[in-house]
Amino acid sequence: MKNIFLFLVLAPLTACVTPQVAINRNADFSAVKRVAVLSFGGKNGDLAADMLTQSLLMRGADVIERQKLSDVIQEHSLSSSKYFDQTTAKELGKLLGVDALFVGTVAESAPAGKYLVNTANGNLVTDVTKVSNSGLYSEGSVAGLPNSQLLSTTANATLVARMVDAQTGSILWSGSMSYEGFDLTTAMREIANAFTTSLAPIWPALILR
């Protein structure tokens, strides 16, 4: 008989536990009091920026409201994060009164999915695997649907972010990380939290935990 495989994901759901970080050794993080987070380039860039903004606020950072940032960019016809350059950094820094800007890119973004499988003609075998960089696991049978199983794939995301000095345009900090979670919001939130955790020891404005 044909076997139907139910794949079980192992916790924790991570592709990379900690971010890869680079720090400008000449940077004076004590001078950074107020920051702004621009929309990330790539699919779901606004979600990534929102998660980073939330994480920074939870750590005690003074962050410009993202709607205000968007209004200023549109009003002055400044570049989006996709075309961000040194001149834009200086202009935004002056207009918003911020010391640094966070910009970034969503390098990979795959949402979670669900699949209904008919198991009437096969035996169930459990295993662990990866399918298109996502874990696949069983949520069990579906009420009212005999001989069925509900399968779910995990979401995964890869973010690359930079903290840019608004006065000079120099990169103060950069980080990249991949994460696999039960949904895209969770994956991006965990990456954002990892980014702020890496910044906390070197940026006095953040609360250490």
Condensed to tens digits (0 to 9), the pLDDT of residues 109-148 reads 665 555 545 555 554 444 434 444 445 555 555 566 566 6
* pLDDT tens track for 146-204: 666 555 667 789 999 999 999 999 999 999 999 987 788 989 999 999 999 999 999 99
Does residue 129 share a domain with residue 43?
no
Answer yes or no: do 123 and 57 share one domain.
no
Do residues 28 and 127 both lie within one domain?
Answer: no
What's the predicted TM-score (pTM) here? Answer: 0.74
In a domain, 205, yes or no: no
Query: Same domain for 104 and 186?
Result: yes
Exposure of 16 in the CB half-sphere (CA atoms within 13 A): 18
**C-alpha triplet 108, 91, 47: angle, nearest 5°:** 25
* Structural contact between residues 184 and 109, judged by C-beta atoms closer than 8 angstroms: yes
Between the CA of residue 190 and those of 20, 75, 123, 175, what are the distances in Å? 14, 33, 37, 13
Residue ranges making up the domain that contains 51:
20-109+156-199
Q: Is residue 190 part of a domain?
A: yes
* DSSP characters over 123-162: EEEEE--EETTEEEEE---BTTBSSEEEEEEPEEEEEEEE
